A and B are shown apart, each in its own frame.
Chain A
């Protein structure tokens, strides 16, 4: 499948035009959309994540790869929906109340989309009620919270508690991340998981969905 090998390569190299073209060619040659996602896009983004972990890639390379993946997904998503294929999971993501930083959160959202997740991005400075509303309406099974500042980290705890008070804590797995956040902090507020980087966030989300 030379077209699909090209797609895999285009995502790793962050070439969105080549990724879109290879996706169209592969579809025209009869490759099923789901195979393209699970067999080529997801492994390509895994490789990007590996390179990020090994520090061969930094944020710019990761962004370009995420964009290439998105170009391919934009073509595939309607076809997947029409065929009734389910996404890897539904994620509601946002930066917590009081915190306006969204670079890290955007990167995690892009990587999750690349990993085959449906992502509902609420942006930055999101109040607990909005997270609850979005999870309920979007039927999400994962909630991803970001904070860059030590002073806004406590808002993560407030979100976890709001889900508990609303009786929705069991409906959703909560993962947290951001510069000051640690595994220990995640455990202390009763979150289900902590992602150290955008790359590890995808693996964590898959683990949480499978659990």
Chain B
């Protein structure tokens, strides 16, 4: 059995919530790259990770979303290694650590970057994350199938399981990526690229997640990773709030499970409370089933 298969043998896994918005709550300056905090404020990053472990996350990510050479400068090797080390400290061997790899932020098809540079950026990051002891690599918030293919190839070369997740936030039904890719096209292309799992994260909110999950699930044989936003952000004066409550978010647990999700968590705006609510909802659903 594959490593992913072994982890999922006991049923679907609850992952974590947002990092960026949680780090901002810890004092991260708006617009500052969160990843550098792995070196400058490791205690505060660990507090976010620990919060998710305590809330009941079975998989936590790392604060390494931007730490590829195409997206940011700095000592990326150290940032990536520290990111994994921090999450592993918080995990204490009780939960899995999947290392986060975000997009380059540059467009291949616009000629802003070449495919060699994209591959090199992802390969450098994946190698550092793997060397630091991540359990798997999670490529997330992708919109371009070509870029994701290069990321999957780089991630797979480490020998770790690689899951790749896209942001579906465009089109009338919010079921396309910014580049216009459908869940079906994404699932087929990522299975062909050798990904061990495929999914949807970020996007416009949890209400849209179950249909996306069902379509991804129907279009490939891979485990499905689902991590929607807590709705779209709203500005009230200078404060930012997210429309979705933890309870409303968690009420989608059953629908996501039935749609074939193997991993469920939250993206931007979701907090430790969202994970606690998901865990509670799962217990409730299991108790209902056992009474039938």
**A and B, one complex?**
yes
The residue that B240 contacts in the complex, of A59, A97, A100, A151, with Cβ under 8 A, is: A151
Kindly list chain B residues whose C-beta atoms are within 8 Å of the C-beta of A103. Answer: 105, 107, 178
| Distance to closest chain B CB from A23 (angstroms) | 20
Interface centre among A61, A103, A153 (most CB of B within 10 A): A103
Residues on B with C-beta less than 8 A from A64 are: 109
Closest-by-CB residue of A relative to B103 is: A103
Contact B109 A58 (CB under 8 A): no
| Chain A positions within 8 Å of B235 at CB level | 150, 153, 180, 185
Q: A150-B240, A151-B240, A153-B235 are in contact. Are A60 and B31 (CB under 8 A)?
A: no
Tell me how far the C-beta of B221 lies from the nearest C-beta in chain A, rounded to whole angstroms.
27
Known contacts: A58-B178, A97-B31, A151-B24. The answer to whether A63 contacts B172 by CB under 8 A is no
The residues in A between 96 and 117 inclusive whose CB is less than 8 angstroms from any CB of B are 97-101, 103, 106
Q: Is the CB of B232 within 8 A of A180?
A: yes
Chain A 157-175 per-residue mask, 1 if CB under 8 angstroms from chain B, else 0: 0000000000000000000
The complex places the Cα of A197 from the Cα of B238 at a distance, in Å, of 23
Selected from B30, B109, B233, B238, the residue in CB contact (under 8 A) with A63 is B109
With contact pairs A103-B105, A185-B235 given, residues A59 and B180 touching in the complex (Cβ less than 8 Å): yes
Main DSSP-derived SS at the A contact region: loop
**Chain A 176-198 interface mask (CB, 8 Å, partner B; 1/0):** 00001000010000000000000
Partner of A55, one of B30, B105, B171: B171
Contact A58-B170, Cβ < 8 Å, known A150-B233, A150-B240: yes
A155 to B238, CA, bound (A): 10
Q: Contact partner of B30 among A57, A98, A180, CB < 8 A? A: A98
Contact of A152 with B180 in the complex, beta carbons under 8 Å: no
Query: Of residues 222 to 256 in B, which have CB atoms within 8 Å of A's CB atoms?
Result: 232-233, 235, 238, 240
Contacts of A3 in B (CB 8 A): none
Say which residue of A61, A63, A106, A125 sits within 8 Å of B31 (CB atoms).
A125
The reply on B289 being an interface residue by CB < 8 A is no
* Chain B contact residues: helix, strand, loop or mixed: loop
Residues of A within 8 A of B107 (CB): 63, 103
What CA separation (Å) do A87 and B60 show in the bound complex? Answer: 53
Across the interface, do B31 and A98 meet the contact criterion of CB distance under 8 Å?
Answer: yes
Decide yes or no whether B176 CB sits under 8 A from chain A.
yes
Given known A150-B240, A151-B24, A152-B31, contact A60–B171 (CB-CB < 8 A): no
Which of A57, A100, A101: most chain B Cβ within 10 A?
A100
Tell me if A63 and B171 are in contact (CB < 8 A).
no
* A106 interface neighbour in B109, B110, B176, B238, Cβ under 8 Å: B110
Question: How many angstroms between the C-alpha atoms of A99 and B180 in the bound complex?
Answer: 24
Q: In the complex the two chains form, is B31's CB within 8 Å of A100's CB?
A: yes
Q: Which of B171, B176, B233 contacts A180 (CB 8 A)?
A: B233
State whether A60 and B30 are in contact (beta carbons under 8 Å apart), knowing that A55-B172, A154-B238 are contacts in the complex: no
The reply on A149 being an interface residue by CB < 8 A is yes
A24, chain B: closest CB distance, angstroms:
22
- A150 and B240 CA atoms in complex are apart in Å by 7
Asked if B179 is at the interface of the complex by the 8 Å CB criterion, the answer is yes
- Among residues 20 to 36 in chain B, which have CB atoms less than 8 Å away from a CB atom of chain A? 24, 29-32
- Chain A residues with CB under 8 A of B240: 150-151
Q: Which of B110, B172, B240 has the most CB of A within 10 A?
A: B110
Residue of B nearest to A54 (CB): B172
Q: Which residues of A contact B (CB under 8 A)?
A: 55, 57-61, 63-64, 67, 97-101, 103, 106, 125, 149-155, 180, 185
Interface CB pairs A-B, < 8 A, 12: A55-B171, A55-B176, A58-B180, A59-B170, A98-B32, A101-B105, A106-B110, A150-B233, A152-B30, A152-B31, A153-B235, A154-B30
Extra contacts, 17 of them, besides A59-B178, A98-B30 (Cβ < 8 A), are A58-B170, A58-B171, A58-B176, A63-B110, A98-B29, A99-B31, A103-B105, A103-B178, A106-B110, A125-B31, A150-B233, A150-B240, A154-B30, A154-B238, A180-B233, A180-B235, A185-B235
Chain A to chain B: the 7 pairs with minimum beta-carbon distance, closest first? A98-B31, A58-B180, A151-B30, A150-B233, A150-B240, A152-B31, A154-B238
